[in-house]
A = this chain, B = another copy of it.
Amino acid sequence: MKQRIYVKTKELENFTVTILKNHGLNENDSVITASVLLSADRRGIESHGVARLKRYVDGIRNGIIKLSPKVSTVVETPVSLVVDGGGGMGQPIAYNTMKRCIEKAKNNMICFASVRNSNHYGIAGYYTLMALEKNMIGISLTNSAPLVVPTFAKDAVIGTNPISIGIPADKQRPFLLDMATSTVPRGKLEVYSRTEDPIPDSWATDENGIPTDNSLKVLDNLLNRRGGGLLPLGGGTEMTGGHKGYGLGSVVDIFSGILSSGAFGKNVYGKKGEPPEVAHFLGAINLEAFMGKDEIKKNMDTYIEMLKSSNKADGQDKIFVAGEKEYIANEKNSEKLSIQSKVFDILNELGEEFNIKLEGE
């Protein structure tokens, strides 16, 4: 059996829109959500692409994701917003908020938004890209279900809490950082669990909070909340800098869940008797706040060229800049892309109910 199946990119996007619409999400929100998911697949971040469509559908079905949320602006100043997403789909909430941020930053130079009561919003980098398209700096952070163990702790208390920051360049591709603040995301453990290869000791801890090479055990412990989990960037000790990844993950939690009085830490799973909720932090910075678009974009070219033209380590032939691999994948996958055959089958199961079928080769 083939492990991967090629599908037309546009067809996969249309299919995703149709599935979401048929589950009651309105046209606009379905288009936005599909765009975010496809952007992940195109950029090679499969864990956050259409492979998650079933989870979103399940979220709608069990009421965690509300179809007609009451989205409200809780605080507004010329340079900031606090938005309550009303428990709706994360992608349209974040998309609409980032659009407002970009609009405000046009006139007021900077806008940051802290967003509460939302759901999983896909890849953080999507919203950063929105700012980059307008020649602005983009910032996108989100908290997430607690999977990461703080330094010296036994249990997962914070999420993989990604940080995405993008800065436009002129002739070079933009700089686009999009990273979990854990050493690896859970999806990486899932890959290793399939082959039962041992994982490096900076990735995860067992139920006693001790680094382990057994990915199956970690995933099972997380599922059953038995303790242990992913390690912050830098690993399980202060000697290797694990407290730094833990500190960065905390900053994401604070900017997202605390500035908005939303959920943070363990509460992202759901406060007592309430459904889980997610918080985001989005920002746009106008380059005219500093040395201006033309000069900054030229400086970025110089910087990126400086990094890429540096001497390579023995055995290496290329130095990458943040986002470069994803831009290359995005260009390659514009017409068609490959998805895991397991994902292909799940998508077609979702489609059966509505008599739609995804064609693959």
A-to-B contact residues, CB < 8 Å: 74-75, 77-80, 82, 108-110, 112, 114, 149-155, 157-158, 163, 165, 167, 175, 177, 179, 183-184, 200, 202, 205, 208-210, 227, 233-235, 239-241, 243-248, 250-251, 253-254, 257-261, 264-266, 285, 287-292, 295-296, 299-300, 303, 306-307, 310-314, 316, 318-322
Contacts and interface: CB of A to CB of B under 8 A. Distances in A.
Contact of A319 (B79, B151, B165): B151
Contact of A314 (B109, B209, B244): B209
Contacts of A248: 163, 177, 179, 248
Contact of A110 (B110, B158, B240, B311): B110
Contact of A152 (B243, B288, B318): B318
Contacts of A244: 179, 233
Contact of A289 (B112, B153, B265): B112
A310 B183 contact: no
The 4 A-B pairs with the shortest beta carbon distances in the complex, nearest first, are: A209-B313, A80-B289, A259-B290, A152-B316
Contacts of A163: 248
A208 B312 CA distance: 9
Contact of A311 (B153, B165, B292, B321): B153
Nearest to A264: B303
Given A109-B77, A261-B299, A82 B290 contact: yes
A155 B311 CA distance: 6
A189 to B, nearest CB: 13
A200 B239 contact: yes
Nearest to A182: B241
A290 B233 contact: no
A179 B238 CA distance: 12
Contacts of A253: 303
Contacts of A246: 322
A170 to B, nearest CB: 12
Nearest to A201: B240
A211 to B, nearest CB: 10
A108 B112 CA distance: 13
A291 B80 CA distance: 11
A256 to B, nearest CB: 11
Nearest to A258: B299
A246 B303 CA distance: 14
A260 B78 contact: no
B265 A303 contact: yes
A247 B167 contact: no
B209 A114 contact: no
B110 A79 contact: yes
